[in-house]
Amino acid sequence: MATAKNIAETVAELIAPVAEELGLFLWDVEFVKEGARRVLRVTIDNDEGITIDDCERMHRAIDPVLDEADPIDTAYDLEVSSPGIERDLRTDLHIDLSVGEVVDLRFFAPVNGQKTLRGVLLGRDEAGDVHVEAEGEERAFPRSALAKISTVFEF
């Protein structure tokens, strides 16, 4: 049986060209279990922001593609949405696209006594370490130490 990660990757490969045709960017695909139901969550974005109409167009466009390819062997609900103002940065591409934004880092284990840190995302280096400017200095953290990276919208 395919894992949720494999299903998400397969779906992403199938629908990324559809998003591009619609002038959208495929931000993320997740296949998750929520209670008794399975959810295929497709997240889209573009430079102007996402409207409900964009979500509906994407939903209608990918429905027949998914029906034909049939990559999921169980019943599921399809959700299409925007990543929102505050978004989780789960991939290297997400990090690269979010350089300059304020982010919260959550660590698996405390770093210098802290479980979280807020700073400006500076990017990644060749080793994959995430660099932020926090508390007046540049700091780097291995991805393996980070439980979560998310952007922060400051009002």
Per-residue pLDDT in tens (0 to 9) along the chain, 155 residues: 578 789 999 999 999 999 999 999 999 999 999 999 999 999 999 988 899 999 999 999 999 999 999 999 999 999 999 998 899 999 999 999 999 999 999 999 998 899 999 999 999 999 999 999 998 999 999 999 999 999 998 77
pLDDT at 1: 56
Q: Are both 76 and 30 inside the same structural domain?
A: yes
Mark 93-115 as b/e (b = at least 16 C-beta within 10 Å): ebbeebeebbbebebeeeeeeee
At 110, which CATH number? Answer: 2.30.30.100
The answer as to whether 130 is a domain residue is yes
Range of the domain at 135: 92-151
The answer as to whether 87 is a domain residue is no
- Decide which of 81, 101, 136 is a domain's last residue: 81
Number of domains the chain contains: 2
